[in-house]
């Protein structure tokens, strides 16, 4: 029995020795260039994993998550005023394109260049787009090329969100009426913002202002705020996204102006719409209707006015910014990153 065991053990050692010898010979037979290539690729892979792993992803404020605790810095009367000279939304100089391109590169490095062709083209030629646009449509900050352009959009452009907003008309109107009871002739209630107009009064009550939630205001309109989280196309994570109640008193005229970008559709849900009120976008007039949504591209030259009598009361709309239907999902994600608040 011992002899058989020794023979088997000797055979096993011989097999192991042959296996090791074969492996060593295979390594010797490798081409030197191939070995160097594999080694370089391995080093590059290890470096990439280290470089990506040490970077922390940028956190985003979500429209769906209610900000708690103290109000954010930079809030005056419930309205966000930019405190940074580096703010993309408020920067109007030659360095803007470089800043946008840097943000796009950072996004592509973390995620992917896939689907970024139109954004890359827009940033690369932004100066030409903004300077050569016809006077009827001239976004002040960012123009995304190859988007269908029209002053007004049909309800089908964002049907789900339009129908949800219209079904919620009684809820939004009720919360506005509760807010409006706080108005007096001598002071503007906290949370409201007075806007500059050549005549009359235009005040707004922001729930989301330039992509930033206004906590105190949201707590005063909790059901309207929760509604924003149910909208599929609400812009809530970049500086082009807003949601507010907009009030025009009789005799008010808003100066003609352009919005900052063409990537969004501005939606007005009529809450109170007396006669003599009109919205003009790209030279085309439209009237609001209570409980109905009006969709338009505010990168077109536009104005609004209330020519009704004092006894008619104010014109009131709930305004929310939605994505342009032709901006793809990958582009939306990238634009949220590039134009994130404070970036």
Among all chains, which residue has been given the structure tokens 């900050």? 141
pLDDT digit string, tens, across residues 175-187: 999 998 877 666 7
pLDDT score of 22: 67
CA distance to 87, 176, 219, 244, 275, per residue, from 75 (Å): 16, 21, 15, 15, 35
CA distance to 191, 203, 266, per residue, from 188 (Å): 8, 9, 26
Among all chains, which residue has been given the structure tokens 């050569």? 132
pLDDT score of 17: 67
Out of 1.10.3720.10, 2.60.120.330, 3.40.50.720, 1.50.10.20, which CATH number does the structure's domain 78-342 have?
A: 2.60.120.330
DSSP character at residue 84: -
Among all chains, which residue has been given the structure tokens 């949201």? 218
324: left (phi over 0), alpha (psi -120 to 50) or beta: beta
- pTM, full prediction: 0.75
One digit per residue, the tens of pLDDT, for the chain of length 343 reads: 455 544 454 555 566 566 566 656 655 665 666 667 777 777 777 666 655 444 443 333 333 333 333 344 444 444 344 444 545 545 555 567 788 999 999 999 999 999 999 999 999 888 777 777 778 999 989 999 999 999 999 999 999 999 999 999 999 999 999 998 877 666 788 899 999 999 999 999 999 999 999 999 999 999 999 999 999 999 999 999 999 999 999 999 999 999 999 999 999 999 999 999 999 999 999 999 999 999 999 999 999 999 999 999 999 999 999 999 999 999 999 999 999 998 7
d(CA 28, CA 42): 20
d(CA 216, CA 13): 79
Among all chains, which residue has been given the structure tokens 């002071």? 187
pLDDT score of 29: 60
**Per-domain boundaries in the chain:** 78-342
């Amino acid at each position: 029995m011992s002899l058989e065991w020794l023979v088997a053990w000797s055979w096993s050692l011989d097999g192991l020795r042959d296996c090791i010898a074969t492996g060593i010979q295979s390594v010797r037979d490798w081409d030197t260039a191939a070995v160097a290539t594999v080694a370089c690729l391995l080093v590059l892979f290890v470096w990439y994993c280290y470089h990506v792993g040490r970077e922390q992803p940028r956190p985003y404020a979500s429209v769906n998550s209610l900000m708690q605790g103290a109000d954010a810095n930079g809030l005056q009367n419930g309205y966000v005023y930019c405190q940074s000279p580096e703010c993309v939304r408020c920067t109007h100089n030659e360095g803007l394109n470089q800043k946008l391109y840097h943000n796009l590169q950072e996004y592509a490095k973390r995620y992917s260049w896939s689907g970024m062709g139109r954004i890359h083209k827009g940033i690369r030629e932004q100066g030409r787009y903004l300077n050569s646009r016809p006077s009827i449509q001239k976004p002040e900050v960012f123009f995304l090329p190859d988007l269908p352009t029209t002053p007004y959009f049909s309800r089908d452009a964002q049907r789900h969100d339009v129908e949800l907003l219209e079904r919620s008309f009684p809820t939004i109107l009720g919360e506005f009426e509760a807010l409006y009871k706080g108005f007096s002739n001598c002071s503007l209630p906290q949370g409201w913002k007075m806007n500059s107009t050549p005549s009359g009064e235009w005040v707004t009550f922001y729930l989301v202002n330039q992509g930033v939630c206004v906590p105190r205001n949201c707590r005063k309109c909790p059901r309207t705020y929760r509604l924003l989280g149910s909208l599929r196309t609400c812009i809530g994570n970049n500086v082009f996204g807003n949601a507010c109640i907009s009030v025009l008193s009789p005799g008010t005229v808003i100066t003609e102006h352009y919005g900052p970008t063409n990537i969004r559709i501005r939606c007005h849900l009529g809450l109170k719409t007396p006669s003599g009120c009109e919205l003009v976008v790209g030279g085309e007039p439209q009237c609001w209707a209570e409980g109905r949504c009006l969709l338009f591209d505010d990168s077109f030259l536009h104005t609004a006015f209330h020519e009704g009598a004092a006894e008619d009361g104010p014109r009131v709309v709930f305004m929310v910014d939605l994505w342009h239907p032709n901006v793809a999902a990958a582009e939306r994600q990238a634009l949220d990153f590039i134009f994130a608040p404070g970036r």
